[in-house]
Structure 1
Amino acid sequence: MASTYLTQALHRAKALYPSRTATIYGGRRRTYAEFVDRVARLAAGLRQVGVMPGDRVGVLAQNSDRYIELYYAVWWTGAVINPCNTRWSPREIAYSLDDSKTSVLVVDDTFAPMVDDLAKRSDSLRTLIYAGDREAPAGMHIYEQLILDCAPMADALRSNEDLAGIFYTGGTTGFPKGVMLTHSSLWSSTVTIAEMVAPFESVGLHSAPMFHLADGAFILALTLRGGTHVAIPGFDPNLVVDVIPKEKVTVTLMVPTMIQMLVDHPKFDPPSMKSLTQIIYGASPISEALLYRAMDGLPETKFTQAYGLTEMSPVISFLGSEHHVRDGKKIRSAGQPAFSVEVRIVDPEGNEVPRGTVGEISARGPGVMQGYWGKPDQTAAALRDGWLLTGDGAYMDDDGFIFVVDRVKDMIVSGGENVYSAEVENAVAQHPAVASCAVIGIPNAQWGEAVHAVIVCAAGVEPPTCEEIRNHCRDLIATYKCPRSIEIKDALPLSGAGKVLKTVLREHYWKEQERKVG
């Protein structure tokens, strides 16, 4: 049987264009021959410290050339990667490590100071690898030394339905869920993305976080196309406006918040960015006003919207540059289904609804996840006869374009990050002054949506301030998930079944937003 394996792109690159530049990070530049050699040596180093096929390897680091190498080295040695969310609290990271039985963790300079705390919280963590540029902390293996000390190993060639990665998402039940993706599921999205947004020999800028599958998929597609990876630690408009002309970047991936920060930056100079032929954006809704500003500011740059979920590896649909036309009929849509993806809009019973009728987006194809790690009930709820229920409400027009209208699962998207209200509610409710609460997303000019908590106070206590609630929540969840605003109410609106009516809580804020836009 033919094999689909994610390291195939490296074998091809080494054979066809070994001298082409593969990675750029600051002053470090490596060819594909060097890149593949380092991957094979690092894979041997991972095996040397005890990583066996199927084992989980975590990485907690900012973007870098080493992060890209590690993705491939984990697969080369036959293991499974667990990219840790750098914005999570130590408690949340430790949960993901223990939940997936991740025993090896690679950290950089930024996160090395967190290791002692993680080691105390995690039962599964056994081996630490330091991938920084300073003096290595005691008790850690050194990333570069593993490469120096080990001869290249043969590719383990894990493939097809072998597990490739566990990518954690926010949890609707208050705990993150590990999305299991195979070599074949990730490969299907790689080929699709490469065809749509990564022309041959592209120079791609990685400023979106590499732990997000959006950028992980961008890494895979760019490698398949023989492109050059330009990495910066994270999104910083100062760095972005400098590195694009310096390295002649041709394509990059951004969330709407990044686009706004870029076009608002005082050093934003479109003529100097003429090499940038394409921006891929997604992860959260973008306002037409911002999209038009970006299109006007970068008239030679094509814009492509990608819609998807981690559970789909991650692509579901694309809105191509040909539909990015001011006041165009399709510009508000999420585009049409991607290659190899089928989409239906269904009712609660799973029946397809007529075109133009709002229902839930369901999708199927080779990119669908295996399931949620260790969560069979949640897997069964998300997968129905091979179709993934996305939790997003939408309708499809007669041309097959998808128009997302709501998030069925009350997910908040703030600055491109998914925030699940149940998770925040669990944290807020632990404050002694809180009797009950509901968390919703409200409009925010900078972040798209902001986390807002509606609180009913316990009897006889002084109402908490927003800062008190935020400080309390910071010990339990990541800072970006903490409420940015609160309001105190005597009671929460409830349905006849006793469920909180979040639509009532949101109504005022979004109507006010509509009045402002109008």
Structure 2
Amino acid sequence: MRFRQDMQSTVHLPQQDVPAQAMYAARAVDLLKDGLRNGASIRARQTTADPIEVWHDDNGQQVLQCQSSGSSGAPKTIQRSPESWIASFEITRRQFGAGADTPYAVLGDPGHSLVLFAILEAFHLGANLSVLSGLSPRAQLQGLSQGCVQVLYATPAQLRLLLKANPAPLTEMRLVFSGGGKLDPETAKASSKLFPNAQLHEFFGASETSFMAIAPVDAPIASVGRAYPGVQIELRGRDDQAVGQGPGELWVKSPYVFERYVEGDSPDTRWKDGFLTVGEMARIDDDGFLYLLGRKSRMVTVADHNVFPEAVEAEIKQAVNGARCAVVPVPDAARGHVLAAVVECAACDDVAGTIKDRCRDALGVPSMPRQILFVDALPMLPAGKPDLKKLEQIVRGQG
């Protein structure tokens, strides 16, 4: 099976005199369209100016390669078959009603798998596509309106930027899929006002697994929904034995998973009995809703309690209006470790006490950061994630 080659979609690209990032995105989508018409393979990169590369495989097969990067910054390139994404495109058609008559839009870099997925889904369904990557939030809102967009894939951070532009409601929108990070209650509520006629669905996945869970509109806001159609979820504990509703390590079996790494690797990624894990820890409630706890590799022991920095980061963001932050462990003689938080908010020193109280009350004393630093800008990796190694050096006074 190959990605669609007849290209019935009309693509609306940014005009001249726009930021360089927008021009890179426009050129990437043009290259992608031409490559698909010729049955070429696709390689998406997050860390180069030109995010899309096309080539013809020596075996005559069409493959898709996407680059991702973890907190260490080491690049990983995964390879998947077209079928693994096409199966999801058909889910979007059958269960959510998307099709040739529902114009799409993307806001981010085509080198990121979420954006590339949305582009290829629009092409597969024959839907028109507005490429708004690299534009200002106000220009993106204008593009959504002018393109009569009905389907949008976006990260929570991208939604927050749209909302900060004080937009008028976009009544044409019918489906908003949010992924790439946890959707906070405030952003979800404000997005429902921006898109008053749209269904907002949060989904959870990874480059290696694609979709794992998706949330219906009435899902508990703290969850990431139930298993995505066609996905089997299993939580496992020690010796990879099933632990029911958990907590435990999240394993999935589905037609959407990747084939292999072609560059880099991850010790968290393991296969067993046809199931795949990427090292996420989770629990499941009585109604089948999945709640993420954090990466197994980031879990830290504080006073004999297992603590997940990702959960602490989520609470901190609530206290500082969504500002970027990161939490790292610091060795402590009495407790084994304690947590330190670095927050991208130079004028927020007065909320340090609020942050500590919120984390203690929501997650318990071991999860309360003992040290909080406020900075103008978080050190970031090329893939857009906080540089945790650099942050550990900063909080220990070595950076």
TM-score w.r.t. the length of structure 2 is 0.70
- What is the aligned partner in structure 1 of residue 231 from structure 2? 341
Give the 3 Å change call, closer, same or farther, for CA 407–257 of structure 1 in structure 2. same
SS of match in other structure, 1:192 = helix
Q: Distance in 1 between matches of 2:378 and 2:397?
A: 22
Cα pair 1:395 1:404 within 8 Å, conserved: yes
Equivalent in the alignment of 1:364: 253
Deviation at 1:358, TM superposition (A): 0.8
Matched, 1:319 2:215: yes
Q: Would the aligned equivalents of 2:178 and 2:202 in 1 still touch at CA under 8 Å? A: yes
Q: 1:82 aligns with which of 31, 38, 43?
A: 43
Structural mapping, 1:367-516, within 5 Å? 367-374=256-263, 378=266, 381-410=269-298, 443-444=316-317, 445=320, 449-451=324-326, 481-482=386-387, 488-489=395-396
RMSD of aligned alpha carbons: 4.0
Change (3 A) 1:471 1:302: closer
Report 1:236-275 matches (<5 A): 236-266=136-166, 268-270=167-169, 273-275=170-172
CA deviation digits over 1:292-323, x for unaligned, max 9?
232244332221111111112x21121122x1
Q: Give SS of 1:372's match.
A: strand
Give the one of 1, 5, 17 matched to 2:2. Answer: 5
Identity, % of aligned positions: 15
Take 1:215 and 1:251, find their aligned partners in 2: how far apart are those partners?
A: 13
1:235–1:485 distance in 2 versus 1, CA, 3 Å: farther
Counterpart secondary structure, 2:208 = helix
Q: Deviations over 1:368-427 (max 9, x none)?
A: 11111155x74794222321103221112233221112232339xxxxxxxxx9xxxxxx
Distance 1:381 1:390 in 2: 4
Q: Rg bigger for which structure?
A: 1
1:353 aligns with 243
| In structure 2, C-alpha distance between the alignment counterparts of 1:275 and 1:334, rounded to whole Å | 26
| SS of match in other structure, 1:284 | coil
Alignment partner of 1:300 out of 194, 197, 201: 197
Q: Distance in 2 between matches of 1:231 and 1:62?
A: 11
- Number of residues paired by the alignment? 335
**SS of alignment partner, residue 98 of structure 2:** coil
Distance 1:471 1:299 in 2: 34
- Number of the residue aligned with 1:186: 85
CA distance in 2, matches of 1:230, 1:83: 19
Shift of 1:441: 5.4
Change (3 A) 1:448 1:5: farther
Supply the AA of the counterpart residue of 2:116. Answer: G
Are the aligned partners of 1:316 and 1:338 in contact in 2 as well (CA < 8 Å)? yes
Shift of 1:448: 5.8
Are residues 1:24 and 2:21 paired?
A: no
Which residue in 1 is equivalent to 2:31? 70
**In 1, Cα distance between equivalents of 2:38 and 2:125:** 23
Tell me what 2:302 maps to. Answer: none
Say if 1:486 and 1:288 are closer, same or farther in 2 by CA, change over 3 A: farther
| Matching residue's letter, 2:112 | H
Task: Report if the CA contact (8 A) 2:22-2:133 is conserved.
Answer: no
**Contact persistence 1:454–1:487 (CA under 8 A):** no
What secondary structure does 1:199 align onto? coil
CA distance in 2, matches of 1:470, 1:453: 18
**Gapped regions of structure 1 (runs ≥ 5):** 15-20, 29-58, 94-104, 109-127, 130-154, 325-329, 412-420, 422-439, 457-465, 492-518
Partner of 2:222: 332
Q: Structure 1 472/242 Cα, relative in aligned 2: closer, same or farther at 3 Å?
A: closer
Change (3 A) 1:61 1:308: farther
Letter in 2 for 1:303: L
Report the alpha carbon displacement of residue 202 of structure 1 after superposing the two structures with TM: 0.8
Match of 1:234 among 134, 142, 148: 134
What secondary structure, in the 3-state scheme, does the structure 2 residue paired with 1:279 have?
strand
When residues 107 and 191 of structure 1 are mapped into structure 2, their CA distance, relative to the original with a 3 A threshold, is closer
Change (3 A) 1:235 1:336: farther
> Counterparts in 2 of 1:275-294, with a 5 A limit?
275-294=172-191
Aligned partner of 1:55 in structure 2 is none
Provide the secondary structure at the position in 2 that maps to 1:205: strand
The 3 A distance-change label for structure 1 pair 297 and 76 is closer
TM-score, length of structure 1 as denominator length: 0.56
Q: How much does 1:191 deviate? A: 2.0
